[in-house]
Structure 1
Protein backbone atom coordinates (compact mmCIF):
# COMPACT_ATOMS: atom_id res chain seq x y z
CA UNK A 1 0.00 0.00 0.00
CA UNK A 2 2.77 2.42 0.92
CA UNK A 3 4.59 1.70 -2.33
CA UNK A 4 1.42 2.59 -4.24
CA UNK A 5 1.07 5.82 -2.25
CA UNK A 6 4.67 6.69 -3.02
CA UNK A 7 4.05 6.14 -6.73
CA UNK A 8 0.93 8.33 -6.65
CA UNK A 9 2.87 11.09 -4.88
CA UNK A 10 5.71 10.96 -7.38
CA UNK A 11 3.30 11.11 -10.32
CA UNK A 12 1.52 14.07 -8.73
CA UNK A 13 4.82 15.90 -8.36
CA UNK A 14 5.72 15.20 -11.97
CA UNK A 15 2.42 16.64 -13.14
CA UNK A 16 3.26 19.92 -11.41
CA UNK A 17 6.77 20.16 -12.80
CA UNK A 18 7.78 21.95 -15.97
CA UNK A 19 10.63 21.54 -18.41
CA UNK A 20 12.31 18.13 -18.24
CA UNK A 21 9.90 15.20 -18.17
CA UNK A 22 9.87 13.78 -14.65
CA UNK A 23 7.90 10.61 -15.21
CA UNK A 24 9.66 7.51 -13.80
CA UNK A 25 11.00 5.35 -16.59
CA UNK A 26 9.58 1.80 -16.68
CA UNK A 27 12.46 -0.63 -17.01
CA UNK A 28 10.57 -3.84 -17.75
CA UNK A 29 7.10 -5.20 -18.37
CA UNK A 30 6.66 -5.18 -14.59
CA UNK A 31 5.98 -1.44 -14.59
CA UNK A 32 2.45 -2.01 -13.31
CA UNK A 33 4.00 -3.49 -10.16
CA UNK A 34 6.23 -0.47 -9.67
CA UNK A 35 9.33 -1.48 -11.62
CA UNK A 36 10.60 2.00 -12.32
CA UNK A 37 14.00 3.55 -12.69
CA UNK A 38 14.59 6.69 -10.64
CA UNK A 39 18.15 7.16 -11.88
CA UNK A 40 18.39 10.85 -12.86
CA UNK A 41 14.62 11.19 -12.44
CA UNK A 42 13.48 14.60 -13.67
CA UNK A 43 17.04 15.38 -14.73
CA UNK A 44 18.21 15.64 -11.11
CA UNK A 45 21.83 14.56 -10.82
CA UNK A 46 21.31 13.92 -7.10
CA UNK A 47 19.35 10.80 -8.13
CA UNK A 48 22.20 9.40 -10.23
CA UNK A 49 22.76 5.79 -9.17
CA UNK A 50 19.52 5.64 -7.15
CA UNK A 51 18.60 2.23 -8.55
CA UNK A 52 21.93 0.71 -7.55
CA UNK A 53 20.94 0.47 -3.89
CA UNK A 54 17.82 -1.74 -4.00
CA UNK A 55 17.26 -2.15 -7.74
CA UNK A 56 14.85 -0.54 -10.18
CA UNK A 57 12.24 -3.24 -9.50
CA UNK A 58 12.63 -3.06 -5.73
CA UNK A 59 11.84 0.55 -4.76
CA UNK A 60 10.41 -0.33 -1.33
CA UNK A 61 12.74 -3.32 -0.76
CA UNK A 62 9.77 -5.67 -1.02
CA UNK A 63 12.08 -8.32 -2.52
CA UNK A 64 13.73 -8.77 0.88
CA UNK A 65 12.76 -12.31 1.87
CA UNK A 66 13.61 -15.09 4.30
CA UNK A 67 16.01 -16.51 1.72
CA UNK A 68 18.00 -13.26 1.98
CA UNK A 69 18.54 -13.74 5.71
CA UNK A 70 21.58 -15.33 7.28
CA UNK A 71 21.07 -15.56 11.03
CA UNK A 72 24.17 -14.95 13.13
CA UNK A 73 24.07 -17.99 15.38
CA UNK A 74 26.73 -16.78 17.79
CA UNK A 75 24.71 -13.68 18.69
CA UNK A 76 22.02 -14.87 21.09
CA UNK A 77 19.86 -11.91 22.04
CA UNK A 78 16.88 -12.10 24.38
CA UNK A 79 14.41 -9.24 24.43
CA UNK A 80 13.72 -7.39 27.68
CA UNK A 81 11.05 -4.84 28.43
CA UNK A 82 11.89 -1.19 29.05
CA UNK A 83 9.54 1.66 29.96
CA UNK A 84 7.57 2.63 26.89
CA UNK A 85 8.78 6.25 27.16
CA UNK A 86 12.37 5.04 26.76
CA UNK A 87 11.44 3.22 23.56
CA UNK A 88 9.53 6.21 22.21
CA UNK A 89 12.47 8.51 22.94
CA UNK A 90 14.86 6.33 20.93
CA UNK A 91 12.47 6.01 18.02
CA UNK A 92 11.89 9.77 17.94
CA UNK A 93 15.65 10.28 17.77
CA UNK A 94 15.78 7.93 14.76
CA UNK A 95 12.89 9.82 13.16
CA UNK A 96 14.58 13.19 13.59
CA UNK A 97 17.91 11.80 12.41
CA UNK A 98 16.24 10.65 9.19
CA UNK A 99 14.78 14.13 8.73
CA UNK A 100 18.17 15.72 9.38
CA UNK A 101 19.93 13.50 6.85
CA UNK A 102 17.32 14.20 4.17
CA UNK A 103 17.15 17.97 4.69
CA UNK A 104 20.87 18.59 5.22
CA UNK A 105 22.33 16.23 2.64
CA UNK A 106 19.80 16.56 -0.20
CA UNK A 107 19.00 19.96 -1.70
CA UNK A 108 16.44 19.07 -4.38
CA UNK A 109 13.00 18.79 -2.81
CA UNK A 110 11.99 16.25 -5.45
CA UNK A 111 14.85 13.97 -4.41
CA UNK A 112 14.00 14.53 -0.75
CA UNK A 113 10.47 13.33 -1.47
CA UNK A 114 11.48 10.22 -3.42
CA UNK A 115 14.09 9.19 -0.85
CA UNK A 116 11.77 9.73 2.11
CA UNK A 117 8.93 7.77 0.50
CA UNK A 118 11.35 4.92 -0.16
CA UNK A 119 12.43 4.96 3.49
CA UNK A 120 8.85 5.20 4.72
CA UNK A 121 7.49 2.43 2.49
CA UNK A 122 10.37 0.06 3.25
CA UNK A 123 9.53 0.32 6.96
CA UNK A 124 6.10 -1.13 6.19
CA UNK A 125 7.89 -4.40 5.52
CA UNK A 126 8.85 -4.56 9.20
CA UNK A 127 5.21 -4.06 10.13
CA UNK A 128 4.43 -7.19 8.13
CA UNK A 129 7.27 -9.00 9.87
CA UNK A 130 5.84 -8.12 13.29
CA UNK A 131 2.43 -9.44 12.25
CA UNK A 132 4.04 -12.60 10.79
CA UNK A 133 2.63 -11.90 7.34
CA UNK A 134 5.91 -11.59 5.44
CA UNK A 135 7.39 -15.03 6.12
CA UNK A 136 10.59 -13.37 7.33
CA UNK A 137 12.20 -13.78 10.73
CA UNK A 138 11.57 -10.81 13.02
CA UNK A 139 14.91 -9.21 13.70
CA UNK A 140 17.54 -6.80 12.42
CA UNK A 141 20.86 -6.74 10.62
CA UNK A 142 23.62 -6.28 13.20
CA UNK A 143 26.18 -5.50 10.52
CA UNK A 144 24.19 -2.51 9.33
CA UNK A 145 23.22 -1.28 12.80
CA UNK A 146 26.91 -1.35 13.76
CA UNK A 147 27.36 1.78 11.64
CA UNK A 148 25.16 3.86 13.95
CA UNK A 149 28.18 5.27 15.76
CA UNK A 150 29.55 6.52 12.42
CA UNK A 151 26.82 9.09 11.81
CA UNK A 152 28.96 12.04 12.89
CA UNK A 153 32.30 13.40 11.82
CA UNK A 154 34.88 14.63 14.32
CA UNK A 155 33.41 18.15 14.09
CA UNK A 156 29.89 16.97 14.92
CA UNK A 157 28.57 17.30 11.38
CA UNK A 158 26.92 14.43 9.55
CA UNK A 159 29.48 12.08 8.06
CA UNK A 160 29.71 11.64 4.30
CA UNK A 161 31.96 8.58 3.98
CA UNK A 162 30.75 5.48 2.14
CA UNK A 163 30.03 2.69 4.62
CA UNK A 164 30.48 0.02 1.97
CA UNK A 165 27.10 -1.69 1.73
CA UNK A 166 23.94 -1.54 -0.37
CA UNK A 167 20.36 -2.65 0.07
CA UNK A 168 21.27 -6.13 -1.09
CA UNK A 169 23.52 -6.46 1.98
CA UNK A 170 20.48 -6.43 4.26
CA UNK A 171 20.04 -9.76 6.01
CA UNK A 172 23.62 -11.00 5.81
CA UNK A 173 24.22 -10.58 9.57
CA UNK A 174 20.75 -11.06 10.98
CA UNK A 175 19.93 -11.26 14.67
CA UNK A 176 16.56 -12.64 15.76
CA UNK A 177 15.90 -11.79 19.42
CA UNK A 178 14.06 -14.48 21.39
CA UNK A 179 11.83 -14.22 24.44
CA UNK A 180 8.79 -12.48 22.95
CA UNK A 181 5.26 -13.67 23.72
CA UNK A 182 4.24 -14.73 20.21
CA UNK A 183 1.88 -17.72 20.27
CA UNK A 184 0.61 -19.13 16.99
CA UNK A 185 -2.69 -20.09 18.57
CA UNK A 186 -3.67 -16.57 19.59
CA UNK A 187 -1.19 -13.93 18.43
CA UNK A 188 -2.43 -13.57 14.85
CA UNK A 189 -5.71 -12.35 16.30
CA UNK A 190 -4.32 -10.23 19.14
CA UNK A 191 -1.64 -8.60 17.01
CA UNK A 192 -4.17 -8.01 14.24
CA UNK A 193 -6.41 -6.23 16.74
CA UNK A 194 -3.48 -4.16 18.02
CA UNK A 195 -2.58 -3.21 14.44
CA UNK A 196 -6.16 -2.19 13.64
CA UNK A 197 -6.37 -0.10 16.82
CA UNK A 198 -3.07 1.60 16.02
CA UNK A 199 -4.07 2.35 12.43
CA UNK A 200 -7.40 3.76 13.62
CA UNK A 201 -5.49 6.24 15.77
CA UNK A 202 -3.43 7.53 12.83
CA UNK A 203 -4.46 10.95 11.57
CA UNK A 204 -5.51 10.81 7.93
CA UNK A 205 -3.62 13.38 5.88
Structure 2
Protein backbone atom coordinates (compact mmCIF):
# COMPACT_ATOMS: atom_id res chain seq x y z
CA UNK A 1 0.00 0.00 0.00
CA UNK A 2 1.29 3.48 -0.84
CA UNK A 3 0.18 6.83 0.46
CA UNK A 4 -0.33 9.63 -2.03
CA UNK A 5 -0.81 13.30 -1.25
CA UNK A 6 -1.38 16.16 -3.67
CA UNK A 7 0.16 19.58 -3.11
CA UNK A 8 -1.75 22.59 -4.46
CA UNK A 9 -1.41 24.67 -6.64
CA UNK A 10 1.33 22.75 -8.45
CA UNK A 11 -0.66 19.50 -8.10
CA UNK A 12 2.48 17.55 -7.41
CA UNK A 13 1.79 14.07 -6.04
CA UNK A 14 3.91 12.64 -3.24
CA UNK A 15 4.08 8.85 -3.07
CA UNK A 16 5.19 7.33 0.21
CA UNK A 17 6.40 3.76 0.56
CA UNK A 18 4.31 1.10 2.25
CA UNK A 19 4.09 1.36 6.05
CA UNK A 20 5.69 1.35 8.51
CA UNK A 21 6.52 5.00 7.93
CA UNK A 22 9.53 6.90 9.24
CA UNK A 23 10.03 10.51 10.27
CA UNK A 24 11.77 11.10 6.92
CA UNK A 25 8.64 9.83 5.12
CA UNK A 26 6.47 12.10 7.24
CA UNK A 27 8.50 15.18 6.30
CA UNK A 28 7.59 14.61 2.64
CA UNK A 29 3.88 15.18 3.30
CA UNK A 30 2.36 18.52 2.33
CA UNK A 31 1.64 21.30 4.80
CA UNK A 32 -2.13 21.07 4.34
CA UNK A 33 -3.39 22.14 7.77
CA UNK A 34 -3.55 18.60 9.17
CA UNK A 35 -1.26 17.26 11.87
CA UNK A 36 0.68 14.18 10.82
CA UNK A 37 2.18 12.08 13.60
CA UNK A 38 3.68 8.60 13.83
CA UNK A 39 3.18 5.82 16.36
CA UNK A 40 5.41 2.81 15.75
CA UNK A 41 5.42 3.65 12.04
CA UNK A 42 1.63 4.06 11.75
CA UNK A 43 0.40 7.38 10.42
CA UNK A 44 -1.91 9.40 12.70
CA UNK A 45 -3.76 12.32 11.11
CA UNK A 46 -5.65 15.02 13.03
CA UNK A 47 -7.45 18.09 11.68
CA UNK A 48 -6.33 21.59 12.55
CA UNK A 49 -7.27 22.68 16.10
CA UNK A 50 -10.64 24.30 16.79
CA UNK A 51 -11.04 27.90 17.99
CA UNK A 52 -11.63 26.79 21.59
CA UNK A 53 -8.60 24.50 21.43
CA UNK A 54 -6.44 27.42 20.29
CA UNK A 55 -7.88 29.73 22.96
CA UNK A 56 -7.02 27.21 25.69
CA UNK A 57 -3.43 26.95 24.44
CA UNK A 58 -3.13 30.75 24.35
CA UNK A 59 -4.52 31.16 27.88
CA UNK A 60 -2.30 28.37 29.15
CA UNK A 61 0.75 30.06 27.69
CA UNK A 62 -0.18 33.35 29.39
CA UNK A 63 -0.61 31.63 32.77
CA UNK A 64 2.59 29.60 32.54
CA UNK A 65 4.63 32.50 31.17
CA UNK A 66 3.93 34.51 34.34
CA UNK A 67 5.14 31.67 36.57
CA UNK A 68 8.04 30.20 34.57
CA UNK A 69 11.55 30.75 35.93
CA UNK A 70 14.41 31.85 33.66
CA UNK A 71 16.03 29.11 31.58
CA UNK A 72 12.80 27.59 30.29
CA UNK A 73 10.92 28.16 27.05
CA UNK A 74 7.19 27.72 26.46
CA UNK A 75 6.11 26.67 22.98
CA UNK A 76 3.02 25.38 21.20
CA UNK A 77 2.74 22.72 18.49
CA UNK A 78 6.35 21.55 18.34
CA UNK A 79 7.85 18.54 16.59
CA UNK A 80 8.87 15.79 19.01
CA UNK A 81 10.94 12.94 17.60
CA UNK A 82 11.07 10.01 19.99
CA UNK A 83 12.41 7.41 17.53
CA UNK A 84 12.64 7.12 13.77
CA UNK A 85 9.09 5.68 13.79
CA UNK A 86 7.59 7.68 16.68
CA UNK A 87 6.90 11.36 16.10
CA UNK A 88 4.34 13.54 17.88
CA UNK A 89 3.21 17.15 17.90
CA UNK A 90 2.27 18.08 21.48
CA UNK A 91 -0.13 21.00 21.79
CA UNK A 92 2.20 22.73 24.23
CA UNK A 93 5.57 22.05 25.88
CA UNK A 94 7.95 23.43 28.45
CA UNK A 95 11.51 22.93 27.24
CA UNK A 96 14.98 23.82 28.39
CA UNK A 97 16.55 26.95 26.97
CA UNK A 98 19.53 24.86 25.83
CA UNK A 99 17.21 22.86 23.56
CA UNK A 100 16.76 25.93 21.39
CA UNK A 101 20.39 25.60 20.27
CA UNK A 102 20.22 21.99 19.06
CA UNK A 103 18.21 20.51 16.15
CA UNK A 104 16.13 23.43 14.82
CA UNK A 105 13.35 21.23 13.42
CA UNK A 106 12.63 18.77 16.22
CA UNK A 107 12.86 18.33 19.95
CA UNK A 108 14.21 15.23 21.65
CA UNK A 109 12.32 13.89 24.69
CA UNK A 110 15.16 14.76 27.09
CA UNK A 111 14.79 18.44 26.16
CA UNK A 112 11.20 18.59 27.45
CA UNK A 113 10.09 18.98 31.06
CA UNK A 114 6.36 18.97 30.33
CA UNK A 115 4.14 17.96 27.41
CA UNK A 116 0.52 19.11 27.27
CA UNK A 117 -2.36 17.87 25.12
CA UNK A 118 -5.74 19.57 24.78
CA UNK A 119 -8.28 16.81 24.14
CA UNK A 120 -10.51 17.31 21.11
CA UNK A 121 -13.21 14.92 19.86
CA UNK A 122 -10.85 13.71 17.12
CA UNK A 123 -7.90 13.14 19.51
CA UNK A 124 -9.53 11.59 22.61
CA UNK A 125 -8.00 8.12 22.36
CA UNK A 126 -4.57 9.41 21.33
CA UNK A 127 -4.38 12.01 24.11
CA UNK A 128 -5.82 9.88 26.93
CA UNK A 129 -3.88 6.68 26.34
CA UNK A 130 -1.45 6.58 23.43
CA UNK A 131 0.38 9.85 24.06
CA UNK A 132 0.41 9.41 27.84
CA UNK A 133 2.12 6.06 27.36
CA UNK A 134 4.52 7.30 24.64
CA UNK A 135 5.58 10.39 26.60
CA UNK A 136 6.17 8.32 29.75
CA UNK A 137 8.26 5.72 27.92
CA UNK A 138 10.25 8.57 26.37
CA UNK A 139 11.03 9.91 29.86
CA UNK A 140 9.19 13.25 29.75
CA UNK A 141 8.89 14.13 33.47
CA UNK A 142 5.35 15.56 33.39
CA UNK A 143 2.27 15.32 31.17
CA UNK A 144 -0.87 17.43 31.42
CA UNK A 145 -4.11 16.53 29.67
CA UNK A 146 -6.77 19.21 29.37
CA UNK A 147 -10.33 17.97 28.88
CA UNK A 148 -12.42 20.69 27.22
CA UNK A 149 -15.70 18.83 27.74
CA UNK A 150 -15.27 18.88 31.52
CA UNK A 151 -15.43 22.60 32.10
CA UNK A 152 -12.36 22.39 31.25
CA UNK A 153 -10.48 20.06 33.61
CA UNK A 154 -6.76 19.46 34.01
CA UNK A 155 -5.25 16.01 34.58
CA UNK A 156 -1.64 16.23 35.76
CA UNK A 157 0.64 13.20 35.49
CA UNK A 158 4.12 12.78 37.01
CA UNK A 159 6.69 10.26 35.82
CA UNK A 160 7.48 7.28 38.02
CA UNK A 161 10.04 5.07 36.30
CA UNK A 162 8.82 4.41 32.76
CA UNK A 163 5.16 5.26 33.37
CA UNK A 164 3.10 8.04 34.83
CA UNK A 165 1.40 7.72 38.20
CA UNK A 166 -2.39 8.05 38.03
CA UNK A 167 -3.22 11.69 37.30
CA UNK A 168 -4.36 14.27 39.77
CA UNK A 169 -7.58 15.83 38.46
CA UNK A 170 -8.37 19.53 38.82
CA UNK A 171 -11.91 20.42 37.80
CA UNK A 172 -13.09 23.88 36.76
CA UNK A 173 -13.79 25.95 39.87
CA UNK A 174 -10.92 24.47 41.89
CA UNK A 175 -7.36 25.76 42.02
CA UNK A 176 -4.64 23.52 40.63
CA UNK A 177 -1.55 23.89 42.79
CA UNK A 178 1.21 22.34 40.69
CA UNK A 179 4.92 21.99 41.37
CA UNK A 180 6.22 20.34 38.16
CA UNK A 181 7.98 21.56 36.11
CA UNK A 182 7.76 24.72 38.26
CA UNK A 183 5.30 26.07 40.83
CA UNK A 184 2.11 27.47 39.31
CA UNK A 185 -1.46 27.93 40.56
CA UNK A 186 -4.56 28.44 38.43
CA UNK A 187 -8.19 27.43 38.06
CA UNK A 188 -8.71 25.38 34.87
CA UNK A 189 -11.84 27.47 34.26
CA UNK A 190 -9.47 30.32 33.30
CA UNK A 191 -8.34 28.37 30.25
CA UNK A 192 -11.46 28.93 28.17
CA UNK A 193 -11.98 32.54 29.25
CA UNK A 194 -11.76 35.29 26.66
CA UNK A 195 -11.01 37.82 29.40
CA UNK A 196 -7.56 39.39 29.54
**Of the two, which has the highest radius of gyration?**
1
Larger strand percent? 2
Structure with more relative contact order (C-alpha pairs < 8 Å, separation 6 or more) = 1
Larger helix percent? 1
Structure 1 length-normalised TM:
0.26
Structure 2 length-normalised TM:
0.27
